[in-house]
Structure 1
Amino acid sequence: MNTTNAAIPTRSAASPADRRGKARIIVSSLVGTTIEFYDFYVYATAAISVFPLLFFPSTTDTGALLASLATFGVAFVARPLGSIIFGHFGDRAGRKATLIASLLTMGIATVLIGFLPTYAQIGVFAPALLAVMRFCQGLGLGGEWSGAALLAGENSRAGKRGFDSMWPQLGAPIGFLFANGFFLFLTMTMHYDSTKASTNHSFLVWGWRLPFLFSALIVVLGLYVRFKLDETVSFKRTQERGEVLKTPLVEVFRTSWRELIRGTFIMLVTYTLFYLMTTWILSYAIGKPSSGLLGINYHSFLVVQLITICAFAITIPISGILGDRFGRKKFLLGVTAAIMVFGLTFGFFLDPARVGTGDNADLGRITVFMLIGMLLMGLTFGIQSAVLPELFPTNVRYTGSAISYNVSSILGAAVAPFIAAYLAHRFGPGSVGLYLVAMAVLTLIALATMRETSHVELDDVGVNVRPVPAGVPA
């Protein structure tokens, strides 16, 4: 009896090597997505405050902004392609090597943006090169998130997968803080005022390039951490069972096409809210009152964003805990309903007639709006790194979760800042809230058709659709 008990390893008896391995997984999934989101946010911030002036000359401020946001959306077109490419190798060669490749792809593209000449220097080739680099950023991010989520989830503890999988999600607010904190530091030290922008200001001549170039240093850090990783347990088991597929893309569409659609729409409102609260709101807040926008000083609004993003970070682990306790479906249904209610408040919080413009803008009201949005963002985003991978079998999990995540990025994020900017210009901010409500309705429908996955073992997902090896009784 004693011999039997001694032979069974317990979690409390985990060796120092096991604990170091767990810590390495957490750090790698967190650091990698932090770097990826840092690169992405650096571009998003520049797309609002820098690129319309330097890369997209136009007769109107709105025209330049919309052109800049169009290149912002190029990455979202690239992301599904990245999910197919990196998903293929992630399901065939393993999670570790694929994560390293995705990090390099995005990091190199970001650094090269820091060296690009402007429209005044090379004309139309400048925005063309910018679009190419943005496309490469999208390819990298298309493979990054799913790999990081699988790295955490496939090494998770029993009953704690929601919490253990949320570490990659924390990379989003941390990357946001680093990217926008860097821009805030530069604009303050260089005395740059976005409301009185001049293209010969030192910030617009060379200062904006520094956050892009800095990416090279943090990519080296990310690579160092990831080279020390081991392959995930679930992928090793798939290799041992001989279930690694030659064409995971074909298999995921053949056996899991319903899950692809469902996963895409489960993420839809999350993505829409995400980019309304981080990208569109910046353009709306610092835009000129003559264009129907708020005209708030860039420094002042960036401080609001940096403060309220902390609410985003705090609610991500809470989301993982609650998703484990109440189940993915019930929890997300409640959060999505709350997002719908929030969408109905946009006019109250953001109408220039209510909130004021320029120096008279009510920053307190805007801060409350941002705080509510970021709290909801963390609650809906935190559990997604568990939900999407749980929909797919191990041998197509990288490909399936990546495609759902990144196709949703087109429907919910690529077009969100563009549509919102148009709606706000034509119909006021209340219409942007109604747009968010419409996306929430589609997510509610997808959630209603979803089965609960919190108690499903990852190795058991989709076992009914796996082909039975020859010679083995069915």
Structure 2
Amino acid sequence: MSSTSQTGQSAATPANPRHRVILASLVGTTIEFYDFYVYATAAVLVFPHLFFPAGNETVALLSSFAVFGAAMVARPAGAVFFGHLGDKKGRKTTLVAALLTMGIATFLIGVLPTYAMVGWFAPFLLVLMRLAQGFALGGEWSGAALVATENAPAGKRAFYGTFPQLGAPLGFILANGLFLLIAFAMPSDDPSMPSDTFLSWGWRIPFLFSAIMVVVGLWVRLRLVESPAFAKTVEKGTVQRLPLASVAKSHWRELVLGTFFMLATYVLFYLMTTFSLSYGRAPEDAELSGLGYSYNTFVLMMIGGVVFFGIFTMVSGPLADRFGRRLTLLVVTAAIMVFGLLWVPMLDNGLVMLWLIVGFTLMGLTFGPMGALLPELFPTNVRYTGSGVSYNVSSILGAAVAPFIAVWLWTVGDGSPFLVGVYLTVMAALTFIALLIGKETREVDIEH
């Protein structure tokens, strides 16, 4: 097979310079994930105290996680809506609309009234904004991945596909780093609780700051032109009137497989971020016993782990280009299965930092190749919809319920994370089976 058919690029000069492709796919997803993780951090640190009635600490945390999971439910709807636009009107306009939706919702969270101010209307508004965040992210990822892969040079499609993926660790570091700086500036006498000043207004700063980041992202994305693959689809007149119907009718197998390809990735990530922040901060003698770290200390440890997430996201691209997406992910998924069974031995022996490093390293290795794998499953005229729906339906099966199930298993296990680790292993096993059933996509023509 020629290099042209392998990459889907014609011999002509790409419409978008490579540096612009990388910047547009990276900056946009960094902003989107920053917005998403700002909420994830606040769901543990702030919202149980401010947006739900005082009383049972566990119920408040579970309620906050339930609102957190609501965004995952909205993501498939966003994937369908933005996927329809992206497959009919083009990638650029759709990506701009998704970024604006996320930015506005995140900014508005920063000005919401609390439960003490307006009662149950406060969590209602929080749910609405969280649904808007999920709706926007449902259209963001697949568009950014398509910009990267449809403009990739010969033999480097998986490598280019890692740049939108890199937005996840960068967004996490920015979001938690900003929260950490604010917490340092507003110290608390109780290391397990934020300070009164932080709870009063400090927590709003990261949400309001997102407005500045959105302006930067819009400037970058408005300079893009459509990819050669989409332009060729328009030229051939093969744009689908109803992309979702076409995907469901002709590519349902790819939809199902793509959903399960992502399952281990989602469960691992939300256990290593949202759940681990709760478990790491919980006092050893609390109702739900944990590791007893202060917020500042544990977030610094998490950021250290996420650095490995970013590094190995980039490492995974060349590996997937050389050895194939399927083989790379089979090996990594098997390692995730083993990792889930090692939670208790590692944590009981005080290897918390190693636990974070290993978990986030595996996260990078499994997340990186998805930027190329999922788009490669579908033809150009339904690629935005197909890859987006697979990616985001998996968010319901994995990310929406993972923190909630983890807290329940944590409770059932009397404070031990053993069952939580087993849960990760079982979900990784389902991904492993899907990868065995699936086929290698490295040689797929991206312009077909």
Normalised by the shorter chain, which TM-score bucket? over 0.9
Alignment of 1:90-129 (within 5 A): 90-129=86-125
**Contact preservation (8 Å) 1:187, 1:299:** yes
**Contact preservation (8 Å) 1:35, 1:219:** yes
What do the CA deviations read for 1:284-316 (whole angstroms, capped 9, x no partner)? 111233222222100000010111110000001
Partner in structure 2 of residue 57 of structure 1: 53
**Contact preservation (8 Å) 2:261, 2:431:** yes
Asked if 1:287 corresponds to 2:279, the answer is: no
The verdict on how the C-alpha distance between 1:193 and 1:228 changes in structure 2, with shifts beyond 3 A counting, is: farther
Q: Secondary structure at the match of 1:244?
A: coil
5+ residue gaps, structure 2: 1-8
Asked if 1:321 corresponds to 2:323, the answer is: no
CA distance in 2: counterparts of 1:20 and 1:107, whole angstroms: 25
**Contact preservation (8 Å) 1:80, 1:142:** yes
Deviation at 1:40, TM superposition (A): 0.4
Alignment of 1:297-446 (within 5 A): 297-350=294-347, 354=348, 362=350, 365-427=351-413, 428-446=416-434
Point out 4+ residue stretches in structure 1 off by more than 2 angstroms.
Answer: 192-199
What amino acid maps onto 1:264 in structure 2?
A: T
Aligned length: 435
**Contact preservation (8 Å) 2:70, 2:130:** yes
**Contact preservation (8 Å) 1:320, 1:382:** yes
Partner in structure 2 of residue 37 of structure 1: 33
The verdict on how the C-alpha distance between 1:334 and 1:217 changes in structure 2, with shifts beyond 3 A counting, is: same
CA distance in 2: counterparts of 1:169 and 1:193, whole angstroms: 38
**Contact preservation (8 Å) 2:32, 2:102:** yes
What amino acid maps onto 1:330 in structure 2?
A: L
What amino acid maps onto 2:436 in structure 1?
A: A
Alpha-carbon RMSD = 1.6
Partner in structure 2 of residue 463 of structure 1: none
Partner in structure 2 of residue 466 of structure 1: none
Partner in structure 2 of residue 68 of structure 1: 64
TM-score using structure 1 length: 0.90
Equivalent of 2:228 in 227, 233, 242? 233
**Contact preservation (8 Å) 1:252, 1:396:** yes
Partner in structure 2 of residue 160 of structure 1: 156
Q: Compare 407-416 and 282-291 and name the one that shifted more.
A: 282-291
The verdict on how the C-alpha distance between 1:142 and 1:19 changes in structure 2, with shifts beyond 3 A counting, is: closer
What amino acid maps onto 2:406 in structure 1?
A: A
Q: Secondary structure at the match of 2:187?
A: coil
What amino acid maps onto 1:212 in structure 2?
A: F
Asked if 1:458 corresponds to 2:435, the answer is: no
The verdict on how the C-alpha distance between 1:193 and 1:286 changes in structure 2, with shifts beyond 3 A counting, is: farther
What do the CA deviations read for 1:389-413 (whole angstroms, capped 9, x no partner)? 0000100000000000000011011
The verdict on how the C-alpha distance between 1:73 and 1:100 changes in structure 2, with shifts beyond 3 A counting, is: same
Could you say which structure has the greater relative contact order, defined with CA pairs below 8 angstroms and 6 or more residues apart? 2
The verdict on how the C-alpha distance between 1:20 and 1:271 changes in structure 2, with shifts beyond 3 A counting, is: same
- Taking every aligned residue pair, what percent have the same amino acid on both sides? 57
Asked if 1:224 corresponds to 2:219, the answer is: yes
Partner in structure 2 of residue 136 of structure 1: 132
5+ residue gaps, structure 1: 1-10, 356-361, 461-474
Give 1 or 2 for the bigger CA radius of gyration: 1
What amino acid maps onto 1:366 in structure 2?
A: V
The verdict on how the C-alpha distance between 1:115 and 1:276 changes in structure 2, with shifts beyond 3 A counting, is: same
Partner in structure 1 of residue 4 of structure 2: none
Partner in structure 1 of residue 5 of structure 2: none
CA distance in 2: counterparts of 1:179 and 1:334, whole angstroms: 31
Asked if 1:244 corresponds to 2:230, the answer is: no
Q: Compare 251-260 and 188-197 and name the one that shifted more.
A: 188-197
TM-score using structure 2 length: 0.95
What amino acid maps onto 2:185 in structure 1?
A: T
Q: Compare 339-348 and 143-152 and name the one that shifted more.
A: 339-348
Q: Secondary structure at the match of 2:17?
A: helix
Asked if 1:266 corresponds to 2:252, the answer is: no
What do the CA deviations read for 1:62-112 (whole angstroms, capped 9, x no partner)? 111000000000000000000000000000000000000000001000000
Deviation at 1:32, TM superposition (A): 0.1
Q: Secondary structure at the match of 1:165?
A: helix
Partner in structure 2 of residue 358 of structure 1: none
Deviation at 1:196, TM superposition (A): 5.2
